[in-house]
Amino acid sequence: MPFKPLVTAGIESLLNTFLYRSPALKTARSRLLGKVLRVEVKGFSTSLILVFSERQVDVLGEWAGDADCTVIAYASVLPKLRDRQQLTALIRSGELEVQGDIQVVQNFVALADLAEFDPAELLAPYTGDIAAEGISKAMRGGAKFLHHGIKRQQRYVAEAITEEWRMAPGPLEVAWFAEETAAVERAVDALTKRLEKLEAK
């Protein structure tokens, strides 16, 4: 089976599970009814097209028509779209580029913000509520532990490179070098002006 249809089917299933399961989200979903959102991930040649209908969202790899809104961003930025407070900051910083009707992406972000992404709800029908909650807590704890471990290792490597191995300059050394470079540049400009004055005489 080709990779692209597998990815689009997985994303479609995930979005439909979280965005279309709860009846409480019906008003938020109605704002997206009939809208088409194209998501282009920088670094990947293909884009994902989200077509919203009353009963589900269809995730497509190809779309012949025009999209109401196109969002262009790196893959690392997309998870930040769950928080509607960050949308404006992401657009201003240039991490997120929006073309077309911005209301579509705002409504999608609002819907994602209202939806509860809880893995325990997915596991509960298969394992029971208590086991699902325990597994979910263990997964969150493991993910947090892994995240802190990665951050700690990154800090250790950065300190080793700058302090122990002296492969890269430290922040103060970079600042000093920048100041010295600017001072030399100013001195060269002053010398050039003096030479021009002498040549003009």
The SS3 call for residue 101 is coil
Answer whether 4's CB lies under 8 Å from 61's CB: yes
Residue 127, Cβ density class (10 Å: 0-12 exposed, 13-18 middle, ≥19 buried): middle
What pLDDT sits at residue 167?
A: 77
Answer whether 39's CB lies under 8 Å from 50's CB: yes
Q: What proportion of the chain, given as a percentage, has pLDDT over 90?
A: 33
CA dist list (Å): 53 to 8, 23, 59, 67, 81: 17, 15, 11, 14, 21
CA dist list (Å): 95 to 48, 74, 103, 172: 18, 7, 18, 28
Residue among 61, 65, 49 at smallest CA distance from 108:
49
When pLDDT is cut at 50, 70 and 90, the band that residue 3 belongs to is confident
What pLDDT sits at residue 1?
A: 46
User: Dihedral, CA atoms, 6, 7, 9, 10, nearest 10 degrees?
Assistant: 110
Ramachandran quadrant class, 68 (left: phi over 0; alpha: psi -120 to 50; beta: rest): alpha
Task: Fill in the DSSP letter of residue 160.
Answer: I
Task: Fill in the DSSP letter of residue 49.
Answer: E
**159 or 185: which leads in pLDDT:** 185
Q: What proportion of the chain, given as a percentage, has pLDDT over 70?
A: 100
Pairwise CA distance, residues 111 & 19, whole Å: 7
**162 or 140: which leads in pLDDT:** 140
List pLDDT tens digits, range 132-146: 889 889 988 999 999
Residues with Cβ within 8 Å of residue 45, at least 6 apart in sequence: none
